[in-house]
Amino acid sequence: MPLTNAVLVEALLDGAHPDPEARRAVEARVRNALNLLQRAKRVRSIRLGRSVGWIWNHRPLTDDEWREATNEAASAKLDVIAAGAVGITTSPPAVSLH
């Protein structure tokens, strides 16, 4: 699934809410890492609507195939959220050993 810079920054922050200067430092780290990976031809960017997502080059998928996979994953996530909202569980019931 393509990852945006914002998603990568949030992953590195791991729920922390740093001051603006510390956040900019993490954003710079993400940009630097992606630039290095792009120059090494390990990743490339694709357009995802208004934003840009980063994908691995070693996967033999076209940009359109990446977008389709992203749309399918988002749709599946929404289905799970909707199922939870109406009280439907998607996991098997717990088994009691007693």
* Cβ neighbours for 37, distance < 8 A, ≥ 6 positions apart: 43, 54
**Both tokens assigned to 89:** 């569980």
**Both tokens assigned to 95:** 């088994």
Note the pLDDT tens digit of each residue in 4-32. 999 999 999 988 898 999 999 999 999 99
> What residues does each domain of the chain span?
5-85
Backbone angles phi, psi at 44, to 5 degrees: -145, 160
Q: How far apart are CA 12 and CA 25, in angstroms?
A: 11
Note the pLDDT tens digit of each residue in 22-62. 999 999 999 999 999 999 999 999 988 888 889 888 888 88
Q: How far apart are CA 80 and CA 60, in angstroms?
A: 28
Residue 41 · residue 57 · CB < 8 Å: yes
